[in-house]
Amino acid sequence: MNQTQSPPLRSLITRKSTLWLLPIFLLLTVTGNCSDKVVLFDGSTLDGWAHTGEGYFNVDEDEKCLVSHGGMGMLFYYDRQFEDFELDLEFKVNQEGANSGVFVRFPNLPKIGGEPHPGPWGAVNEGYELQIQGQHTGDLYSFEESGKVPLNEPGQYNKMKIQAIGQEYKVWVNGEVVGEYTGERSTKGYIGVQNHDPKSIIRFRNIVVTPK
* Share of residues in the chain with pLDDT > 70 (%): 79
Q: What confidence category does residue 35 fall into, taking pLDDT thresholds of 50, 70 and 90? A: low
pLDDT of residue 28: 38
Q: What is the mean pLDDT of residues 99-125?
A: 83
- Please say whether the beta carbons of 172 and 148 come within 8 A: no
pLDDT of residue 89: 98
- Please say whether the beta carbons of 116 and 122 come within 8 A: yes
Instruction: Kindly list the distances between the CA atom of residue 101 and the CA atoms of 24, 25, 211, in Å, as whole numbers in the listed order.
Output: 42, 41, 21
pLDDT of residue 142: 75
Closest CA to 103 of 153, 150, 147, 160: 160
- Report d(CA 180, CA 57) in Å as an integer: 29
Q: Average pLDDT over the chain, rounded to whole?
A: 85
Q: Which amino acid is at 145?
A: E
- Please say whether the beta carbons of 53 and 197 come within 8 A: no
pLDDT of residue 110: 86
Q: What confidence category does residue 192 fall into, taking pLDDT thresholds of 50, 70 and 90? A: very high
| Burial label, 83 (beta-carbon count in 10 A; 0-12, 13-18, 19+) | middle
| Spatial CB neighbours of 162, under 8 Å, sequence gap ≥ 6 | 86, 87, 102, 104, 130, 169, 170, 171
Q: What are the phi and psi torsion angles at 29 (to 5°)?
A: -65, -40
Q: What confidence category does residue 117 fall into, taking pLDDT thresholds of 50, 70 and 90? A: low
pLDDT of residue 199: 97
Q: What angle do CA 133, 61, 109 make, to 5 degrees?
A: 55
Q: Which amino acid is at 94?
A: N
pLDDT of residue 143: 79
How many Cβ atoms sit within 10 Å of the Cβ of residue 115?
A: 7
pTM: 0.81
pLDDT of residue 73: 95
Q: Which of 20-29, 122-131, 153-162 has the lowest mean pLDDT?
A: 20-29
Residues facing residue 53 across a β-bridge: 73
Q: What angle do CA 56, 58, 55 make, to 5 degrees?
A: 10
How many Cβ atoms sit within 10 Å of the Cβ of residue 185?
A: 14
For the chain, the C-alpha Rg in angstroms (whole number) is 23
Q: What confidence category does residue 113 fall into, taking pLDDT thresholds of 50, 70 and 90? A: low
How many Cβ atoms sit within 10 Å of the Cβ of residue 8?
A: 9
The domains located in the chain, with CATH, are 34-211 (2.60.120.560)
208, pLDDT greater than 80: yes
Q: Count H helices, E strands: the chain? A: 2, 13
Highest mean pLDDT among 13-27, 83-97, 98-112, 142-156: 83-97
Q: What confidence category does residue 104 fall into, taking pLDDT thresholds of 50, 70 and 90? A: very high
Q: What is the mean pLDDT of residues 55-62?
A: 96
